[in-house]
Amino acid sequence: MMDFAHLLEDELVNDILPFWTSAMTDVNGGFYGRMDGEGIVRPEAEKGAILNARILWTFAAAYRITGAEACRDTASRAFGYIRNHFLDNEYGGLFWSLNPDGTPKDTRKQFYAIAFAIYGLAEYYRATGEAQSLEIAISLFKSIEDHSLDRGQGGYLEASTRDWGAIEDMRLSDKDQNDAKTMNTHLHILEAYTALYRVWGDETLASALRGLIEIFIDRIIQPDGHLGLFFGEDWSLHSTMVSYGHDIEASWLLCEAAEVLGNGNLLAKVREISGKVAAASMEGYTEEGGMEYEYDPATGRRNSSRDWWVQAETVVGCVNRYQLTGDDLWKERALSEWNFIRRNIICPEGEWYWSALPDGRGGFTPNKADDRAGFWKCPYHNGRMCMEIMERNSF
C-alpha cells in the first residue's frame, strides 16, 4: 500500500502546495482572499481568518513532514500575517476578516475561527519551535475558555462581539442556522485542543479536551450514529439534517483526540462509538461516485454534490477504520474514493474544484461556479488527507 502514500505525496508536493505558493501569495502581504471557479484571482476580496489559519496549518505540517524549506517560508508568511493583522491587540482573540489591505473588516469573534488559529499556531510551533506561536495559541485557548465555554450546560457558544459581548447573529455563514451551539464549532475546537495538547501538556487543557469528547458522546452523536448539527443553549436538537462529511471526519478526529490524551478506557469507548459514526456516514457513500454532501430524513431533501472536503475526509476516515479493524472493505472504499477524486475533483490547472456535480447521466461535471480558493476553500482538507496517509505507514 505504500504506492497509495506515494501517490498522495505526489499530489501534495506537486499540485496542492505549489498552487498556493504560486497563485495565492499576495505581493502586498499575506495571501489573496479569493480565486474564483474559473481560476481568476480576485485581489479585491476580503481576507478570511479561516483561510489564513488553514494555510498556516497546512504549510507548517508540510514542513514538519517533508522538511522542505519552501513550506517553512510559506508557513512563516502565514504566521506573521496572522500575528500582525488578524490578532486583536485591544480585546484579544482574532478578527473574522480583513480588508485586502490588511485592516480589520469584520471584527466579531467567531470561536470556530479562533479554534483554527490555535490549530495552525500549535502545528507551527510543533514544526519550528517558534515560542511566540505557542504563546499566542495559549492566549487564544484562554479566550475560548473565558468567553465561549458554557459553564452551566456544557459546550461552547458560537460567537460574540469584538469585546466579547452577546451577538444576535452567530452564524458561520448564510447557509447555517442561527443557533447558540453547533456540531461544527465543537468539532474544530476539539481538533484545535488536540493539536495544542500535543505541544503543551497543560492539565486545564486536558480537562477541556476530555470534556469535548464527552460532549460528542453524550450530546452530539445521535442514537442512529449521525451527528446532530444545530442545538439550543440547553442542547435541544434544532435540526434533522445529516452531514455525511462531518460524520466521517468526526469518526477519526475523535479517535485522534482520545489517542493524544492517552486515557486507555476513554480511547476504547471512543473507538467503539466512532465505528458507529463511520458506519452511519456510509449511508452517503457510493462505490463509484464518492460521498454525497447531506440528507434531511425529515423532508427527504438530498444534496448530492460531491464537495472537495467531504471526499478528502472520506479517504482519511476510511483509512482510519481499516487500521482499527483490519476490514478490507474500508481499504477498498478509501481507494475507490481516491480514484473518484482523481477523476472528478482535481483541477488540471492546479488545486481541486469546489465540487463535482451529478450530470444526470451517471457522470459528474466540475463545479466552476464556486471558488477554487477563498474564504472557505483552503488547502487544509485535501492537504491533510495527503499528509495523514503519508504518516500512516501501515496503509
CATH of the domain at 109: 1.50.10.10
Residue 156's pLDDT band (boundaries 50, 70, 90)? very high
Number of domains into which the chain is organized: 1
What's the pLDDT score for residue 255?
Answer: 98
What's the pLDDT score for residue 2?
Answer: 52
User: What's the start-to-end Cα distance of the chain, in Å?
Assistant: 5
Amino acid in position 82: I
Mean pLDDT of 186-193: 98
For residues 173 and 183, what is the distance between their CA atoms, to the nearest angstrom? 14
Mean pLDDT of 188-208: 98
Mean pLDDT of 228-232: 98
Angle at 318 between CA 277 and CA 282, to 5 degrees: 50
Residue 1's pLDDT band (boundaries 50, 70, 90)? very low
What's the pLDDT score for residue 140?
Answer: 98
Q: Would you list the DSSP string of 11-58?
A: HIIIIIHHHHHHHSB-TTSSB-S-B-TTS-B-TTS-EEHHHHHHHHHH
What's the pLDDT score for residue 195?
Answer: 98
Mean pLDDT of 46-64: 98
What's the pLDDT score for residue 394?
Answer: 59
Residue 34 or residue 3, greater confidence:
34
What's the pLDDT score for residue 395?
Answer: 62
With H, G, I as helix, E, B as strand and everything else as coil, classify residue 313.
helix
What's the pLDDT score for residue 74?
Answer: 98
For residues 195 and 119, what is the distance between their CA atoms, to the nearest angstrom? 6
Residue/partner pairs of 252-257 with CB below 8 Å, 24 or more apart: 252/278, 252/313, 252/316, 252/317, 252/320, 252/321, 253/187, 253/190, 253/191, 253/194, 254/190, 254/213, 254/216, 255/320, 255/324, 256/194, 257/190, 257/191, 257/193, 257/194, 257/209, 257/212, 257/213
Mean pLDDT of 269-277: 98
Mean pLDDT of 27-56: 98
State the residue range of the domain holding 326: 2-391
- 341 pLDDT more than 80: yes
- Look up residue 231 and give its three cell numbers: 442545538
Residue 293 or residue 1, greater confidence:
293
Other beta carbons less than 10 A from residue 225's beta carbon: 20
